[in-house]
């Protein structure tokens, strides 16, 4: 998962795969039995309600996780999460897209647990060709443990947009014309996990997980993917920009969307790698001056 940049909760503010394999459009009605495999946790991950609800649990012995049955190359992907309530300090709920290998691509949502009464930190990152270090972190403007909220990733050849309940919070544009790599050649799986990270996650590891509160549980529902499923069975793609059903393949933020990002970042962003000059003494990453 992502390189970790942690801020105090007291702050207020593989080889490239050629594109010759079959890609097919899917709109997924939420059924976790059909769409995902539980990959670890020895029974701590469970699917309920005829596939409509999935829960991950963490105790002192182990966390748990799941992975999509399909790989995707571009998509508009939504998942509703309800995060670990109460004193969740030390826990991390990760929900992300990733390929595999040393040159993997990755698009991350990670939710850093908190002491009761302190806000969760939403940690985002983008990896291209095995390189991350593009962290932005936010406080959420609601309690993410009280109800389900929708966390979305739009990923197409032009842009990546992170959204929360339909509000865009971050954009990573394709700037390959400037020599900046962009994740567009490697299909990715969807992963999620709930795990203990009290060596770094809360105040740099100063606050440890209170195991008397275990088991910790996060819940998932209403997965939806308008996406291109990757398959090695054919040499053609049905994800055509000309199809009206695939309009998300060319979707980008309009001026209103750009203004909404600015508003969220002004009021809720607590870390931005593009302003961390101490971390990059040789100069900020090139994309920081272009966006």
Active site residues: 106, 110
Q: Please state, in angstroms and rounded to a whole number, the distance separating the CA atoms of residues 182 and 124.
A: 16
Which residues neighbour 72 within 8 Å (Cβ) at sequence distance 6 or greater? 97, 187, 188, 189, 190, 225, 227, 228, 229, 230
Nearest to 132 by CA among 288, 16, 2, 224: 2
Looking at the DSSP bridge assignments, the partners of residue 36 are 68
Which residues neighbour 141 within 8 Å (Cβ) at sequence distance 6 or greater? 267, 268
Q: Give the burial string for 71-88 (b: 16+ CB within 10 Å, else e).
A: bbbbbbbbbbbbbbbebb
Residue corresponding to tokens 């990453």: 285
* Lookup: tokens for 78: 């939504």
Could you tell me how far CA 5 lies from the centroid of its own chain? 15
- Listing from the earlier edge strand, what are the strands of the sheet with 269-272? 36-40, 64-68, 189-196, 91-98, 106-112, 121-127, 136-139, 269-272
Phi-psi region at 156: left, alpha or beta (left = phi > 0; alpha = psi -120 to 50): beta
């Amino acid at each position: 998962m992502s390189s970790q940049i942690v801020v105090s909760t007291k702050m207020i503010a593989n080889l490239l795969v050629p594109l010759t394999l079959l890609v097919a459009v899917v709109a997924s009605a939420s059924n976790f039995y059909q769409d995902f495999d539980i990959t670890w946790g020895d029974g701590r991950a469970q699917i309920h309600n005829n596939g409509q609800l999935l829960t991950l649990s963490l105790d002192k012995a182990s966390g748990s996780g799941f992975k999509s049955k399909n790989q995707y190359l571009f998509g508009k992907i939504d998942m509703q999460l309800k995060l670990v309530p109460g004193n969740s300090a030390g826990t991390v709920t990760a929900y992300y897209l990733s390929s595999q290998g040393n040159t993997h691509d990755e698009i991350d949502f990670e939710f850093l647990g908190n002491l009761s009464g302190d806000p969760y930190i939403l940690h985002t990152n983008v990896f291209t060709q095995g390189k991350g270090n593009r962290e932005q972190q936010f406080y959420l403007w609601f309690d993410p443990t009280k109800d389900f909220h929708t966390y979305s990733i739009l990923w197409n050849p032009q842009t990546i947009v992170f959204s929360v309940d339909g509000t865009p919070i971050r954009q990573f544009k394709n700037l390959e014309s400037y020599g900046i790599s962009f994740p567009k050649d490697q299909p990715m799986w969807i992963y999620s996990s709930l795990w203990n990270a009290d060596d770094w996650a809360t105040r740099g590891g100063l606050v440890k997980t209170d195991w008397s509160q275990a088991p910790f549980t996060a819940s998932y529902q209403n997965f939806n993917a308008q996406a291109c499923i990757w398959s090695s069975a054919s040499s053609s793609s049905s994800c055509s920009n000309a199809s009206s059903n695939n309009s998300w393949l060319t979707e980008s933020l309009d001026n209103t969307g750009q203004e909404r990002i600015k508003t969220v970042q002004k009021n809720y962003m607590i870390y931005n790698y593009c302003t961390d000059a101490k971390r990059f003494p040789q100069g900020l990453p090139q994309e920081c001056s272009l966006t």
